[in-house]
A = this chain, B = another copy of it.
Amino acid sequence: MSRVTIADVASAAGVSKTAVSFAFNNPERLGHATLERVLGVARDLGYTPHPAARALSMRRNGTIGVLIPQRLSTVFANPFLSELIQGLGELCEEHDLTLLLVPPLDGSLESAIRQASVDGFISLGLSPDDRAFEVLDGIGIPTVLIDSEDSFGHPVVNVDDRGGAEAAAKHLLQQGHRNVTIVLLPPARSQVESTPTATRRLAGYHAAFEAAGAPPPETVTAGVSIAGGTRAFESLPRGKRQPTGLLAMSDMAAIGVMNAAQAAGVRVPEDLSVVGFDDIPLSAWTNPPLTTVHQPIVEKGRLAARMLIERMKGRGVDSPAPLNTSLVIRGSTSAPRNSDLPIGRR
């Protein structure tokens, strides 16, 4: 036996399909008696309007899509997305919307975008030249960008990545670190270039070093995961040339580094200072607690969702100013053990 349709209800109640539809969506247009009868029959039959049919005819899905640049298993290993969804979720529930996670299907985010029955998209970390934008523009679904670049047709929610990174680097420099390594974010979409976020953070780091007259640091790339950080640590030079400070673009990588370092007998922060980025909840609980750049992730989600919902109502919205970041100094940073600084000699 198949699904019960509006026609079934209509004939069972001895009315037209229109009447049934009105009973649910426009009850005041029906006489009291018929209304009751239709509703009763519908309940008895267990009728539920077919969502796709409804969406087709109403031009509304009641869903917003989150464009995920990577595989769900890798991206959900990082608490960042969880927090973001908390923010998005608040607004969604407030507006009776559900949230569709849209990762690349069969490797292609473009085709996943086409498949998605949504009223709006939130896109994460897309580069300006991502192919996905062509598709997005083609179908004309309102979109709000997060961690991307301005000067698209779409409004963007960003945080002050550059400022945060600069503060982090300055902190290390002030403590006397001169031999620092940067742990880069991996490129998001298998393209060669790095993400807008990574680019801005790197610029912030470099600015601080330049201002201090220090040479630009070495870099390694690490996936946003503890394992990624572990690998990053292992690729670091040892002995004399081992850095005394480390600027990671993600907390997860930073924590992986700390872990690997301690396992290798390198003490944090005595032998190696490490600074993360994001300030995920976990970072307050590591041993030692991680010094990191705080960004308001939940708020970012809330703001983006609020903007998208406005756009879905047809109202235009402008990109807000980047949200503030701030350095949170905890226990993973200190002055280097044998400072090379010219305090005394040696």
Interfacial residues, chain A to chain B (CB-CB below 8 A)? 3-4, 46, 48-53, 55-56, 61-63, 65, 71-73, 76-77, 79, 81-83, 85-90, 92-93, 96-106, 112, 114-117, 134-135, 138-140, 226, 255, 281-282, 285-287, 298
Establish whether residues A93 and B105, one from each chain, have CB atoms under 8 Å apart when the complex forms: yes
The distance in angstroms between the C-alpha atoms of A63 and B61, with both chains bound, is 13
- CB of B85 within 8 A of CB of A138, answer no
Taken together, the copies of this chain in the complex come to 2
Whether B56 contacts A52 by the Cβ 8 Å rule is yes
A28 to B46 CA separation, bound complex (whole angstroms): 42
Which of B61, B82, B134, B140 touches A52 (beta carbons < 8 Å)? Answer: B61
Nearest chain B residue, comparing its CB with the CB of A107: B93
**A51 partner, pick from B93, B116, B140, beta carbons under 8 A:** B116
Assembled-state Cα–Cα distance A286/B284 (Å) = 9
A258 to B, closest residue via Cβ? B285
A114 / chain B contacts, CB cutoff of 8 Å = 48-49, 51
Pairwise interchain contact B82-A76, C-beta atoms closer than 8 A: yes
| Contact B79 A98, beta carbon cutoff 8 Å | no
A226 and B79 alpha carbons, distance in the complex (Å)? 15
Cα distance A99–B102 in the bound complex, in angstroms? 7
Interface-centre pick from A83, A96, A100 (highest chain B CB count, 10 A): A100
Docked CA distance A103–B100 (Å): 12
Whether B82 and A98, one on each chain, are in contact in the complex, defined by CB atoms closer than 8 angstroms, is no
- Contact between chains at A86 and B63 (CB < 8 Å): no
B76 to A92, Cβ gap below 8 A? no
Given the known interface contacts A61-B52, A100-B99, A100-B100, the answer about A76 and B83 at a Cβ–Cβ threshold of 8 Å is yes
Whether A48 contacts B139 in the complex (CB less than 8 A), given A71-B93, A287-B285, comes out as yes
Contacts of A139 in B (CB 8 A): 3, 46, 48
Question: A117–B134 Cα gap in the complex (Å)?
Answer: 26
A135→B49 CA distance, assembly (Å): 12
Which are the 8 A-B pairs with shortest beta-carbon distances? A72-B89, A46-B138, A52-B55, A51-B117, A73-B86, A99-B101, A52-B56, A287-B287
CB distance from A252 to the nearest CB of B (A): 10
Are A115 and B138 within 8 A (Cβ)?
no
A235 → B minimal CB distance (Å): 22
Instruction: Using A135-B48, A139-B48 as known contacts, say yes or no to A90 and B73 having CB atoms under 8 A apart.
Output: yes
Task: Give A4 to B103 CA distance when docked, in angstroms.
Answer: 25
Q: Which residue of B lies closest to A2 (CB)?
A: B140
Measured between beta carbons, the chain B residues less than 8 angstroms from A98 are 65, 100-103, 105, 112, 115-116
Query: Can you give 23 A-B contacts (C-beta < 8 A)?
Result: A4-B138, A46-B138, A48-B114, A49-B114, A51-B116, A52-B52, A52-B56, A52-B61, A63-B117, A71-B93, A72-B99, A73-B86, A76-B82, A76-B85, A85-B101, A93-B103, A96-B105, A98-B100, A98-B116, A100-B100, A226-B281, A281-B282, A286-B287
